[in-house]
Structure 1
């Protein structure tokens, strides 16, 4: 609980000025908007902490007030950015690929072509936990069990049902909700396992460690091979044993990269300054949330399909990254 409290406190502290009234916002450029809205995610996941952290850096650098909207995660963030109900947000690249092509049930066949990539955030590893007393030690043992997978509109809520189905480990029921809610249901015996995908350490998993003995659930080598063959947006990875206090071993996972996104209508010079604020002062972001250790320009190549905003591409090229012309779209 202490680690979760420290993480949350750091993020809230860095985000506190965002609560100031928009009346006090003084953009550095009169042509810029006085306020920006950011889509984040439900409590218990990394977006809820990471979003306010980078939003505060943007606010300080631009003078624009940044406010935060709790959402169901990547899917809803994309919908909201497309509609300009928020101007900036965060998503995983698998969900972004579905959005761009209009694939996946949640898109209802619509192609979300007004979203633009801003900057790389961090990798999202898929893994899970179960109470030790449940006897569940692997994904294969989830067949017929009650499983929580986070918000319905989030990356784990979208992908874990597909992952389990592909592996043939079909649960008895799949439940959706915030990370903190899923963790509570696990402790209360309403769930047999809680599967999630987020920056690590997952705050809800770290909290669960302090409440009782848990098993960490990862994938076998054969399962990793099957998943990466069926989902090219997933890549094999490992989590060090030190990721969690009680894991006691390296975890074999599959991962998906996260990116900040924005609406294509954002001014080019504003987006340039936003990236300068985030990537140019990355150590500050890393102090607020450990997942930001991967928030560096060098990871821009993790995006191979979603067009970059011209302002983002300009900054990344100046930072030494190769951004193809066909991956830049106004």
Structure 2
């Protein structure tokens, strides 16, 4: 278990060097996802870039299943920060869905909107799988256990009456990309873009992103109001045209115990270095306060984030 705690570090002292002054270092455990997932690379980039400007804060990237696990581990106090779907912040306040029977997420605090992520299904070109109904009877990887991808993919298939018609597989994003390329599965589902597993597959194979009809998008939004229709640009993956699909909003979330000073420093550094973060992963280009929408989920913003946004004139309720 890692917490936002202060640990004393001392520089080595030699016979010719004066003793160094001890410096307090804050340890921050930040949950992302498994390799191949957007959250994994976002946290990795943030740890590297923010660490350059904040040597007093040691960010540890924690590999997890994704959003669902991040939220649960934040609630348990096993993480200090995480990338979490807005739907999971909302459900954890009840708690309901994947959080039913557990503690409420009353300790979750917003830092920033990380990005808006689409959920979509990937098949190989020429496989005969060209629309969502073609998934019936097929082996479909839904993501790693505990991930927000499994949550989103299952919701969407449920809304469309397809969940009970497929052969669901659970595997990491990277494994799913390899398994599809090797013919071990027929399709896989991915939340957020661009995802490394899809990008890498598209470089060597022709891929198909299964389209949603307007009626299907409306059905999904009517069934689960935390999804909204959006368009994934044609520049996202090689050979894939612009495609309409269901999106959900994803947030950078902190545990309430992380100090105001630490969060303020981290969020300030993140906005100062947003171009560098986005160069590491495109999703960081979407980061913004999104205060009002986050608070509608039933959780407040972190005092450190609030202080920064008020100073910058970015606070809106």
TM-score, normalised on structure 2?
0.87
SS in 2 for 1:245: coil
Partner of 1:79: 72
Partner of 2:156: 163
C-alpha separation in 2, matches of 1:181 and 1:66: 27
C-alpha separation in 1, matches of 2:10 and 2:93: 37
Tell me, yes or no, if structure 1 residue 35 matches structure 2 residue 41. no
Superposed CA RMSD in Å reads: 2.2
Q: Do the aligned partners of 1:32 and 1:270 also contact (CA within 8 Å) in 2?
A: no
Partner of 2:200: 207
SS in 2 for 1:124: strand
Partner of 1:190: 184
Partner of 2:43: 51
Partner of 1:181: 175
| Displacement of 1:83 | 2.3
The match for 1:315 among 301, 308, 317 is 308
C-alpha separation in 1, matches of 2:8 and 2:120: 40
C-alpha separation in 2, matches of 1:223 and 1:24: 59
SS in 2 for 1:41: coil
SS in 2 for 1:242: coil
Partner of 1:288: 280
The match for 1:93 among 74, 78, 86 is 86
| Displacement of 1:43 | 0.6
Provide, for residues 72-115 of structure 1, a one-character-per-residue CA deviation record: whole Å limited to 9, x for no partner. 11111112222222211111111221222211144434312111
| Displacement of 1:231 | 1.1
Residues paired across the two proteins, number? 297
Partner of 1:245: 238
SS in 1 for 2:188: strand
Provide, for residues 182-237 of structure 1, a one-character-per-residue CA deviation record: whole Å limited to 9, x for no partner. 11121222211111102x22111111112322211131111111111111111110
Tell me, yes or no, if structure 1 residue 254 matches structure 2 residue 218. no
| Displacement of 1:139 | 1.2
Q: Do the aligned partners of 2:115 and 2:286 also contact (CA within 8 Å) in 1?
A: yes
| Displacement of 1:281 | 2.1
More helix by share: 1
Q: Do the aligned partners of 2:108 and 2:253 also contact (CA within 8 Å) in 1?
A: yes
Q: Do the aligned partners of 1:161 and 1:174 also contact (CA within 8 Å) in 2?
A: no
Q: Do the aligned partners of 2:152 and 2:191 also contact (CA within 8 Å) in 1?
A: no
Higher Cα radius of gyration: 2
C-alpha separation in 1, matches of 2:172 and 2:9: 32
Partner of 2:15: none
C-alpha separation in 1, matches of 2:69 and 2:50: 22
Partner of 1:229: 222
- Residue 236 to residue 24, structure 1, CA distance change in 2 (3 Å): farther
Q: Do the aligned partners of 1:22 and 1:35 also contact (CA within 8 Å) in 2?
A: no
- Residue 120 to residue 48, structure 1, CA distance change in 2 (3 Å): same
Structure 1 ranges of 4+ moved more than 6 A: none
Q: Do the aligned partners of 2:145 and 2:171 also contact (CA within 8 Å) in 1?
A: yes
Q: Do the aligned partners of 2:85 and 2:248 also contact (CA within 8 Å) in 1?
A: yes
Deviates more, 1:104-113 or 1:77-86: 104-113
- Residue 301 to residue 164, structure 1, CA distance change in 2 (3 Å): same
Q: Which runs of 5+ in 2 are unaligned?
A: 1-6, 12-21
- Residue 302 to residue 22, structure 1, CA distance change in 2 (3 Å): farther
